[in-house]
Amino acid sequence: MGTWDIGPFDNDTAADFSYRIDEAPAERKAAVLLAAFRDVTETGEDYLDSDLAVEAVAAAALVAAQCPGGAPVTTSYGPKQPIPPLPAALRPAAVAALDRVLGKDSELLELWEESDGAAWKAGTEALRAVLASADA
């Protein structure tokens, strides 16, 4: 995984994912995000591949950006096309995916823990907090 910073779109996999989001018609963008969440949560107890986790974190950032207290996604590596208003039903799916990314048997978490990943983890936990509070 080519990673250059700690943001949700600061790696090759997430940048590629943003292209898939851009290619989806406006009415299908929410489905692309939901699929990223399901790819993570439907792994059950299996080891979570980092590429799936990266896409879920990027998708969560886009959902959180539309929540109260959420930060806009302004990186040039994120989607270029506007994200239409997303259904609130995506929020619990995003929280569940982030719980899996931050939980045991997550390759992405392990990779960040092997380096100085405290800031990445804090940022991902902050995304989760915004999503969880908006869904409360």
Q: What is the pLDDT of residue 136?
A: 60
Model confidence at 1: pLDDT above 60: no
Q: What is the pLDDT of residues 76-113, one digit of tens each?
A: 999 999 999 999 999 999 999 999 999 999 999 999 99
CA-to-CA distance for 44 and 56, rounded, in angstroms?
Answer: 15
pTM score over 0.85: yes
CA-to-CA distance for 61 and 63, rounded, in angstroms?
Answer: 5
Which residue do the tokens 């989001």 mark? Answer: 21
Coil, strand or helix at 3: strand
> Pick from 22, 31, 36: which is nearest to 89 by CA?
31
